[in-house]
Amino acid sequence: MKHLNLLVGGPTSQWPDQLTAGKVSGDWIGVDRGTLRLLNLGIKPLVAIGDFDSLSADELKRVKSAVSDIRQAIPEKDETDTQLAVTVALHEYQYDRLDIYGATGGRLDHFLANFWMVLEPRYRQYAPKIRFIDKQNTITFFAPGAYEITKEPDKKYLAFVTLEKVDNLTLPDEKYNLKNENVTRPISYASNEFVGDKGHFSFDSGMVAVIQSKD
């Protein structure tokens, strides 16, 4: 499975330990200050995206000398740098999975823009490839269907998050169950748990995010 990672400029305090240790495998795209942080981890990104206006002159020089492909989003297009990075990742490179780090714990307008990106027509088909990963959470996205998911060993909690109207949401074998629930608005069914290592769920319309998390 070909695997691409994005590092966005959110606080490093939210990084999972594996990233802090520089041990996340795969290719990288850097967004804003994330690019500099990748260089500090000894990782040279394929592409750097951002206006880098929060970097000092020396930091910017370092980014420019290390990365040949540097691009910038256009704010008027209501496109964030992270969205541009996802577009580049999905359209110019062929990856089966896209993991986004550094997108949490900072500006909430950015987090929500990125979280809801999967609802845009141009990204919707790619949603199942996208994950958000931080110190306490892994977010994955699902189109209508029936699924089996596997518990992450270090996570205790399991949440089913309806991003929009969702029909017939069924959670048959988790700690708290639902049967053919028609959900008419965004709800985070939080603090559920796996019973054992596997869980199943299904739904007929809309988009569902699954969040595995720990305290």
Structure tokens at 88: 């580049």
Work out whether 191 is an interface residue with a copy of itself (CB under 8 A).
yes
Structure tokens at 156: 């205790």
Nearest CA to 5 among 105, 86, 83, 84? 86
User: What does the per-residue mask of binding to a copy of itself show for 70-109, with x meaning CB under 8 A?
Assistant: -----xx-x-x-----------------------xxxxxx
Work out whether 205 is an interface residue with a copy of itself (CB under 8 A).
no
Shortest separation between residue 25's beta carbon and a copy of itself, angstroms: 24
Taking CB under 8 A as the criterion, the residue among 14, 31, 37, 129 binding a copy of itself is 14
* Count, residues near a copy of itself per rule CB under 8 A: 40
User: Of residues 144-173, which lie at the interface with a copy of itself (CB under 8 A)?
Assistant: 157, 159, 161, 163-164
Q: Cβ distance 22 to 42 under 8 Å?
A: yes
d(CA 155, CA 99): 17
Taking CB under 8 A as the criterion, the residue among 56, 71, 92, 112 binding a copy of itself is 112
Structure tokens at 123: 């990204």
Q: Cβ distance 48 to 35 under 8 Å?
A: yes
Helix, strand, coil % in the chain, rounded to nearest 5 = 25, 35, 40
Closer residue to a copy of itself, CB minimum distance, 68 or 182: 182
d(CA 125, CA 119): 9
Work out whether 110 is an interface residue with a copy of itself (CB under 8 A).
yes
Which residue ranges make up the site for a copy of itself (CB under 8 A)? 11, 13-14, 54, 75-76, 78, 80, 104-110, 112-113, 116, 119, 134, 136-137, 139, 157, 159, 161, 163-164, 176, 185-191, 211, 213-215
